A and B are shown apart, each in its own frame.
Chain A
């Protein structure tokens, strides 16, 4: 009897302790191993909950999976393993700042920090000064502060591939192509529907400038964050009845825009989504209403690229994939994460050529970013030809590419419908330089002399 009384208690304890041991074993086994050649550390200010979770989980999933691929297949970058830590920001600026401060020097075993990739304009703005002071590159791929393209004033900030000005310029060029030449833009009516955030407002002045240059009428309409109600905005668009609508959305705002367009009877194939309105997650919730929707992309979706096949083989199949829903493999956000991974890792590789095959500081990786030079041959080696555009960065130019392709949603998948369309970067450069200079003046920064800085 006595034994019977005691036993249940014991088994309870046994259960708990074995669970504890199991958890401990898991924790230990999950810790990064093998410190032979050292490690390079990436702090990840990720977001997997909140209104923009689809973007965050896809992007950081792709990024992490690429880092895993490099570790699993190549044993790191020239023997230097890649490690990372995550901190949830929910796309909220304060949390992003807290995460930045928490993670910035938190590399395991003192692994130096390579770069931060917050994927949020608000957080990027808030950590810009900190990144410069801490000498850690701040990567804002396809977004960010436009004038940070000028590396002379912003040595630590990299709006890789496509800054917001280039983005709208490329869209206007495409509309020109579709209308039969840029001259035909005269008198056309274009509406820009933008997200009510720093990201959305970033392009207001440059759109006005392009409108003046090409002689089209433009109306810019703001949708308050997060954008799940757009009745009045689309009613206004209905009244204007423009030739084209440029959608600069983000997250839930995109499907709502497409659905509301259908409600007011605006043709969806005359809406052009920008770089953050171009994913499967933006069109699928809109259902049939999205059929024919056009958007730009720097990184087509699809899982056929050799680099994605390699990720599938080395990371996803062994069960280490970061995505919770395997169906999202090869989608737009995921592929952008992979592209971002490629660019970060290549920057480390370039920097290693100069500083040696060892863990590098943020300052050294910054040099790597600034000397990034990806041509078609190198992209082919990486298995990313067609996924990443040729990219060459310099001290003065932290963007590098400035080209986009256009894709159309057929209800099931995106089909690429154009070749690379180049932004008018020569036109934009003086505006960027002017803005960067006024920033430098306000902050008391002396711009670097890029002709001497190698």
Chain B
């Protein structure tokens, strides 16, 4: 315990470290809703924030605790379905509590599918989380109870409201997602600096050494799975209700798991701001390319070719970024920052 405590010695914060997040929060909460139109709020900012939260969740288990997982979308769907069932079956509960319980349900599933991590690691663990991915989709397709016996298995979001605040306009949806994301990121940032966060990093960097210095490796791993799935579950509920407005089991497929994994690989493993950078890369760049390609439609290139061209450009950019900076965009930003004072 002594050792871990010294590891967890709190860093001293300089004023800039407080001022920057405060200023950006002010811009996000007050500035953005004033200037952004429906398209930006509905189609860009909301999915960007939700996927950044999902990236945060996966980062706990993969970036900090070093356990590879391909089941992010499964945990997201558990969160979404749990929240849906609570909303529909227990209407008395307030929305924040529904979200919280949805996250907890997902956390429980996370622990269950994290159990193999006590015995296996690396690529073998991927197989276990992949099983979660397929099992959950199968379960929600098969058992009609989860989708409230809807005929086609597609659920539409019930009306969301916190007290008298009805979340049905683009601005309110954005603010709701932003609020939840802010809380989760504040939680995440303090978590990875806490004793638990240090333990995760110790397990990631060298499991044997961590065990030798007395870190409870198994418990740390399971806690990583639980907290990761908790955050992913909430992200899933937001994805389903605040963004798409519907859920179906196939909406949370392997593709989404890969997307979340790419977010943390490109953004930066074991980095909190990296989640935003990665999500921006994954969400914004294709949309940017597609908008830019819209201009090409007039230049006589077929719409289908433009689409394939976009994929090529996107893929090339991923490769270029990863070759230039294998540790992700967060590291790139860090390097630029460190250089700047010297230059001036």
Contact = CB atoms under 8 A, between A and B. Distances in A.
Interface of A: 23, 26-27, 30-31, 46, 48-49, 53, 57, 85-88, 90, 93-94, 97-98, 100-102, 105, 121-122, 125-130, 133, 145-146, 196-199, 201-202, 204-205, 222, 225, 324, 435, 439, 442-444
A443 B158 contact: yes
Nearest to A206: B151
A225 B250 contact: yes
Given A94-B47, A128-B156, A201-B152, 19 more contacts: A26-B299, A53-B304, A85-B294, A90-B307, A94-B244, A98-B44, A98-B287, A101-B39, A101-B42, A102-B43, A105-B38, A122-B251, A125-B156, A126-B246, A129-B156, A129-B157, A130-B245, A146-B151, A198-B153
B294 A87 contact: yes
Contacts of A46: 303
B251 A93 contact: yes
A226 to B, nearest CB: 11
Interface string B268-311: 00000000000000000001001100110111101110111000
A53 B157 CA distance: 29
A97 B244 contact: yes
B25 interface: no
B54 to A, nearest CB: 13
B24 interface: no
Contact of A125 (B44, B141, B154): B154
Contacts of B151: 146, 201-202, 204-205, 435
A46 B297 CA distance: 14
Contacts of A87: 290, 294
Nearest to B251: A93
A255 B38 CA distance: 42
A361 to B, nearest CB: 16
Contacts of A97: 42-43, 243-244
B159 interface: yes
Given A126-B246, A202-B151, A49 B298 contact: no
A90 B151 CA distance: 25
A27 to B, nearest CB: 4
B88 interface: yes
A133 B287 CA distance: 24
Nearest to B47: A94
B167 to A, nearest CB: 12
B304 A23 contact: no
Nearest to A147: B151
A101 B302 CA distance: 22
Nearest to B299: A23
- Give 10 nearest A-B pairs by CB, closest first: A101-B43, A48-B304, A27-B298, A202-B152, A198-B152, A30-B298, A198-B154, A98-B43, A88-B307, A101-B42
Contacts of A443: 156, 158-159
B327 interface: no
A98 B297 CA distance: 18
A202 B151 CA distance: 6
Contacts of A324: 302, 304
A443 B294 CA distance: 36
A208 B295 CA distance: 50
B244 A86 contact: no
A57 B304 CA distance: 9
Nearest to B159: A444
A431 B43 CA distance: 35
Contacts of B304: 48-49, 53, 57, 88, 324
B98 interface: no
B307 A126 contact: no
A26 B300 contact: yes
Most buried by B among A27, A57, A442, A444: A442
Contacts of B152: 121, 145, 198-199, 201-202
A51 to B, nearest CB: 13
A6 B43 CA distance: 50
A88 B303 contact: yes
B308 A442 contact: no
Most buried by A among B156, B157, B158, B302: B156
Contacts of A146: 151
A77 to B, nearest CB: 24
Contacts of A30: 298
Contacts of B168: 133
